[in-house]
Amino acid sequence: MDGALQSSEADNGTAQREKNLPAIGASGWLIIAIVCLLSSWYFAVIIAPAGLGASAPNVRQGLFPEWYGSRQILLQGRDPYTPETTKGIQAAIYGETAEADRGTRNQHRFAYPAFFALLIFPLAILPFSAAQWVALAGCMVATALSVPFWLGQRHLRLNVSICGVFVFASYPVVLGLQLRQPTLIVAGVLAAVVYCARADRLVLAGILAALSTCKPQLAIAVLVPLAIWAITQWRTRKRFLVAAGGALGALLLASEFISSGWFTHWLSTLMAYAHYAGTKPLLADLLGSRFFMPFGMMLVGAVVWVSCRYCDRDLLFAVSFSITAFQLLFPFQIYNEVLLAPAALWLAKHASEIKSRGQLHALLYCCTWIVLGAGWAATIGLSLSNLLSPGSGVNLWQLPLLTAWLYPLPVFVTLALYALPAPERIQRCW
């Protein structure tokens, strides 16, 4: 009896300490998050442009092609994929087309499906100076809402506000906001799709899923596990796929109405984009082009397998695994890493469970945060160096970009190991 009482008191003491720790830790983590936020923006606004020179990102590179191409469709009734449209975009971004051809491989074509113009028509009818501020507000709202949408109704012990500050402090998000990249809005829409699906608002989820296909290379990573999730319980979840198919069909018909024959022109633009964008998939960089295709097919198979196994048990895990896999398969763009937010949030939510599986799991889990933290440490160090000695931060300006390039790999390996039931003998070795 005394032993049980002592055990109960010990449990109460432990519970009380655990109850107090988040309150003590929350203020500290908030301070760290704010420091990371300020240093990331200082790096993006002051240091990175000095290091990149003429290649520094600006809002015209990120929003002007979308704005100009959409205006060609909606206001001028022209094909946005023609060389004349591309020349108009290049002239606005580079000053003259010839300079664009000499000095850069990025042709900045309008590379979206035609129905993208219907989705951003409020921006297309505005002057560009006004459109960029409206786009910035939209990107910020979508990014802020994506955090609670990804986490869902059960946030466990995560502080959503602190998570949100860390998300805004990540360089991919900062770069996306600088460029007013539609990626941020699409990522927010995909988060809303997952939230609505888990809340059984399947028709709304399907409609939003169709809208997200305006950036198909992002949407596929989320929609594949969601499609498998719907198929596994077809009778109760078929409304999701029916609504998504119907909404996408309506968008395709509307696109043909506003720009006849757009689909073949768009495909030609996509093929050209793969050559001029100047980036390769991370998997191709790691393994070489010779092994990219077979390993890529294996990754797609792994996405299907994990989605079938986990979509009912943990939909966010299935989505996170799919996102990290497709991050390795598609051409690397730093701002597209905003879609890794659900994977980072899932890792934070399940930290104790991952570590309890063994030392190998714990080691890989720590590696994901070491790489992510190294990026913030680099921006903080470079910012402090540049403040103390103006210009010195430019010397190592590539470091935050390098950590962003590395980040998807440890996240994928950690999630992949979690998905596999580890043999007991491997667990004992570790």
Q: What are the residues whose beta carbons fall under 8 Å from the beta carbon of 208, sequence distance 6 or more?
A: 189, 192, 193, 196
pLDDT range class, residue 76, cuts 50, 70, 90: confident
Instruction: Read off the pLDDT of residues 14-68 as tens digits, 9 standing for 90 and up.
Output: 444 334 334 447 788 889 999 999 999 999 999 999 888 777 788 888 899 999 9
Instruction: Read off the pLDDT of residues 401-425 as tens digits, 9 standing for 90 and up.
Output: 999 999 999 999 999 999 987 554 4
Residue 157, pLDDT score: 53
Q: Give the whole-angstrom CA distance, residue 359 versus residue 357.
A: 7
Q: Give the whole-angstrom CA distance, residue 149 versus residue 354.
A: 23
Q: Give the whole-angstrom CA distance, residue 208 versus residue 238.
A: 15
Q: Give the whole-angstrom CA distance, residue 255 versus residue 356.
A: 51
Q: Give the whole-angstrom CA distance, residue 42 versus residue 169.
A: 11
Which secondary structure element, helix H or strand E, spans residue 336, and what is its range? Answer: none
Sequence-distant contacts of 258-265: CB under 8 A, at least 24 apart: 258/73, 258/74, 258/77, 258/114, 258/117, 258/118, 259/73, 259/79, 259/80, 259/114, 261/79, 262/79, 262/81, 262/113, 262/114, 263/113, 265/79, 265/81, 265/82
Q: What are the residues whose beta carbons fall under 8 Å from the beta carbon of 368, sequence distance 6 or more?
A: 344, 347, 407, 410, 411, 414
Instruction: Read off the pLDDT of residues 106-126 as tens digits, 9 standing for 90 and up.
Output: 778 888 999 999 888 889 999
Q: Give the whole-angstrom CA distance, residue 296 versus residue 306.
A: 15
Going from N- to C-terminal start, the domains of the chain cover 28-270+284-429
Q: What six digits make up the tokens of 4?
A: 């049980």
pLDDT range class, residue 320, cuts 50, 70, 90: very high
Q: Are 110 and 69 in contact (CB under 8 A)?
A: yes
Among 39-43, 196-200, 267-271, 291-295, name the one with the lowest average pLDDT: 267-271
Is residue 213 helix, strand or coil? Answer: coil
Say whether pLDDT at 328 is over 70: yes
> For residue 105, what is the DSSP state?
S
Q: Give the whole-angstrom CA distance, residue 33 versus residue 64.
A: 32
Say whether pLDDT at 336 is over 50: yes
Q: Give the whole-angstrom CA distance, residue 192 versus residue 106.
A: 32
Q: Give the whole-angstrom CA distance, residue 9 versus residue 7.
A: 5
Residue 194's Cα: distance from chain center in Å? 14
Instruction: Read off the pLDDT of residues 223-247 as tens digits, 9 standing for 90 and up.
Output: 999 999 999 999 999 999 999 999 9
User: Which amino acid is residue 91, in one-letter code?
Assistant: A
Q: How many residues does the chain have?
A: 430
Say whether pLDDT at 185 is over 50: yes
For 270, 320, 321, the CA distances from 305, given in Å and listed in that order, are 29, 14, 11
Q: Give the whole-angstrom CA distance, residue 358 versus residue 172.
A: 31
Residue 274, pLDDT score: 64
Q: Give the whole-angstrom CA distance, residue 351 versus residue 319.
A: 18
